Amino acid sequence: MARLPRLTLADHPHQVIQRGHNGQPIFIDRDDRERLLFLMADSATRFGVAIHAYVLLDNAFHLLATPSGPDGMSQFMQAVGRGYVRYFNDRHGRSGTLWDGRYRSTLIQADRYLLPCMVSIDLRPVRAGLVEEAGAFAWSSHGHYAGSRNDRLVTPHALYWALGNTPFAREAGYADLVHAGVSAADEAALDEATLRGWAAGDEQFLESLQKATERRVVKSRAGRPSSANSAFQKAA
């Protein structure tokens, strides 16, 4: 079966995962992480991509970002991926691939999943056992939203601004979300959508999204489609 083209649309937030080949580390030290962040900042400006959240784990990085153009996300990831591999191989005297194939991504419904996705990204170091709380991990956007540092890479989404009328209120509101965590259902929905390349959202959002792209946005379902799913099945 032919591989579907990547699902990406301008002005929609995307969750992105890029992993190291066979689970190998993609960072050796602080300089490596700082180089990747530099490449992200440069490429985000060049290709019109707003980075809302990120985390740099030992063997993967996760992003939440919104491209302003139809090709912005793919151009951004290509520039970051190629630039970092050249740097990493030259610096560490190696050759060959660093990434575990293509990056994985999904397009998400902002008002349903954007804040849970941000929280999920912040909590990945905690779930990985690297730190006891999100604020203790230096290599994520959490510090920006917690008010402990200003991260020029980060562009807060409008839904974050809506958490409060003052910086203190927004920081407190977001801290409450991180403390509460993400439901198992939301975590599973976001992970499955990202790894499989399907959009994450409710039926009304998915129906609207399908009208904007020829690429189907959800997996085809076996059997006769219901009226609620007819828009998706026609595109399958």
Q: For 87-101, what is the mean pLDDT?
A: 96
In sequence order, which residues have a C-beta less than 8 Å from that of residue 49 and are 6 or more positions away?
43, 65, 66, 67, 68, 72, 73, 76
- The closest alpha carbon to 125, from 184, 174, 59, 180, belongs to 59
Specify the pLDDT at position 196.
92
- The closest alpha carbon to 137, from 121, 150, 117, belongs to 121
Specify the pLDDT at position 158.
98
**Structure token digits, residue 229:** 């799913």
Specify the pLDDT at position 74.
96
In sequence order, which residues have a C-beta less than 8 Å from that of residue 224 and are 6 or more positions away?
none
C-alpha to C-alpha distance for 199 and 206, rounded to whole angstroms: 7
58 in Cβ contact with 9 (< 8 Å): no
DSSP conformation class of 27: -
pLDDT digits (tens, 9 = 90+) for 21-67: 999 999 999 999 999 999 999 999 999 999 999 999 999 999 999 99
Going along the chain from its start, the domains and CATH numbers come out as 14-203 (3.30.70.1290)
More confident call, 1 vs 85: 85
- Can you give the pTM of this predicted structure? 0.91
pLDDT band at 112 (very low <50, low <70, confident <90, very high): very high
